[in-house]
A and B are shown apart, each in its own frame.
Chain A
């Protein structure tokens, strides 16, 4: 038989819907997830990302629609599917009473692994997340970043084919986030399929091959980070900040300016242009003097703003 792992669909959803009472959390989404890719759900809080993750994690039955994971039905075969998944939940569920190593032992036992296998894997995994020297320590006093890395190590104890990460770096300081990203990138290199949610555009850009922008339970757009930026955003963005008293007047004046698009935020004005420096010169020539100005490349944040009219972290 001809194997084509690069096109193997691991998760397939059609019209996937989740209601909580009258609240529609996920509103009929369709997607296919391929083996070996990193797939991201980008969206603000309450967009339906976590609900989708829980359905893929087989701990939340879909209200309607079709969902198949590893070719199986999550409602009927949840236990067998979960045996092949790794889950990094939004909030750590580590056992604070136990040591780092014991946390992996408990988890390995959940998966029915023999102690010897757990011991070997634990050593390798703690090495991988750079926690080997803390193996005998209690979990409680570990920093947020270390706890997150332990959660990741724990989720890998069963050598999962799919790793589900719900907001993997929320609440971490920038340095800790970079360590986590680096480890996730290495996992991807090893062929682990990653599904992650995030409301950080830099995280999505760094890690995801493909992503969907999610808002109000639906997909607003889908594609690779580069595609999305090219499709929904100008090459450069000029950010202008004015004296708060002059902010409204500046907005009026900039209306006549020939930007591709203008976004007015509470504290800033964003001009979507091809050449940021040229645009800034033109703005100044028009008699406007911003307090600060910044020329930058278009990002997923801009894509999101364009698609939903809101900022990601609101």
Chain B
């Protein structure tokens, strides 16, 4: 028996999940250049178009319903939360599916001491890293555009990462069970797109009819947007209980995804 291989895993750097994470890290070292440009150019385009383009129009009228702030300051934190969702969906859908069907990373990892739950958590760590990177870029772009109104924005950053995890964990848990890749179109068409449009991102929810508003309150992105916006505008102190509620909602969703993923991965990989 190789004694080194049997060394007792110590959390977190020698944990089994961390070993799986290292695989993703090594792969990312090879491809990061191509991903960096979309991570940087995306937020710049959005903030330019919405903040300067659309924002100039909006700001000519009363912005009372936005809380009296310029449109750019209103929309920028929402773009941060939405960006986190988009990163999460991108990292948790095809890459998970492909790790069984295309490059077979999971299949290879299975033949090692890693258990399905380790493979899942390791991949999720990588998704968290990508979220942390992309959200940091968006915060920097927000700052460069002058869209930040409060130093509390330092909390908008972890709030955005948490929003991303609330999407990434459940989606990955589901994606591993997918057998036909066209299933992902449902998420993009009926999940990502409506959420992006109707979660108080581009306009306040008060503009929606009551029924739709209630529906929007139930979706995770709205909680993420509300949280990021409150920190970026510095208004979080007005409703601390509400903030805690948002955090709890997102944390529960992420935790449920982490719990479910350990099971779905096991069912899919141990057949």
A112 touches B113 (CB 8 A): yes
A109 touches B2 (CB 8 A): no
B114 touches A117 (CB 8 A): no
Shortest distance in angstroms between A206's beta carbon and chain B's nearest beta carbon?
Answer: 25
Q: Number of B interface residues at 8 Å Cβ cutoff, please give it.
A: 32
- Whether B27 is near chain A, meaning CB under 8 Å from some CB there, is yes
Chain A interface category by residue count: 35 or more
Q: Which of A61, A105, A114 contacts B270 (CB 8 A)?
A: A61
- Whether B14 is near chain A, meaning CB under 8 Å from some CB there, is yes
Residues of A close to B9: CB separation below 8 A: 112
Residues of B close to A82: CB separation below 8 A: 111-113
- Whether A13 is near chain B, meaning CB under 8 Å from some CB there, is no
B26 touches A60 (CB 8 A): no
Q: Which residue of B lies closest to A110 (CB)?
A: B112
Q: In residues 38-87 of chain A, which contact B (Cβ within 8 Å)? A: 57, 59-61, 78-80, 82-87
Q: In residues 1-47 of chain B, which contact A (Cβ within 8 Å)? A: 1-2, 4-7, 9, 14, 16, 19-20, 22-23, 26-27, 30-31
Bound complex: CA A3 to CA B31 (Å): 52
A80 touches B108 (CB 8 A): no
- Whether A161 is near chain B, meaning CB under 8 Å from some CB there, is yes
B26 touches A110 (CB 8 A): no
- Whether B246 is near chain A, meaning CB under 8 Å from some CB there, is no
A59 touches B270 (CB 8 A): yes
A109 touches B23 (CB 8 A): yes
A112 touches B5 (CB 8 A): yes
Contact status of A111 and B111, CB under 8 A, knowing A97-B30, A102-B26: no
B104 touches A93 (CB 8 A): yes
Query: Contact flags (1/0) for A103-140 with B, using CB distance below 8 Å?
Result: 00111011111100100000000000000000000000
Bound complex: CA A158 to CA B105 (Å): 18
B113 touches A83 (CB 8 A): yes
- Whether A305 is near chain B, meaning CB under 8 Å from some CB there, is no
Q: Which residue of A lies closest to B31 (CB)?
A: A97
Bound complex: CA A161 to CA B5 (Å): 13
Shortest distance in angstroms between A205's beta carbon and chain B's nearest beta carbon?
Answer: 27
B113 touches A111 (CB 8 A): yes
A110 touches B271 (CB 8 A): no
Q: Which residue of A lies closest to B28 (CB)?
A: A97
Bound complex: CA A91 to CA B108 (Å): 10
Residues of B close to A105: CB separation below 8 A: 26
Residues of A close to B20: CB separation below 8 A: 110
Shortest distance in angstroms between B35's beta carbon and chain A's nearest beta carbon?
Answer: 13
- Whether A222 is near chain B, meaning CB under 8 Å from some CB there, is no
- Whether A145 is near chain B, meaning CB under 8 Å from some CB there, is no
B107 touches A95 (CB 8 A): no
Query: Contact flags (1/0) for A189-219 with B, using CB distance below 8 Å?
Result: 0000000000000000000000000000000
25 CB-based A-B contacts, threshold 8 Å: A20-B271, A59-B270, A79-B114, A79-B115, A80-B6, A82-B111, A82-B113, A83-B1, A84-B5, A87-B111, A105-B26, A106-B22, A106-B23, A106-B26, A109-B22, A109-B23, A110-B20, A111-B19, A112-B7, A112-B113, A113-B2, A113-B4, A117-B4, A155-B111, A159-B2
Residues of B within 8 A of A (CB): 1-2, 4-7, 9, 14, 16, 19-20, 22-23, 26-27, 30-31, 103-105, 107-115, 269-271
Q: A60-B271, A79-B16, A83-B113 are in contact. List 4 more A-B contacts (CB 8 A).
A: A79-B114, A83-B5, A93-B108, A112-B14
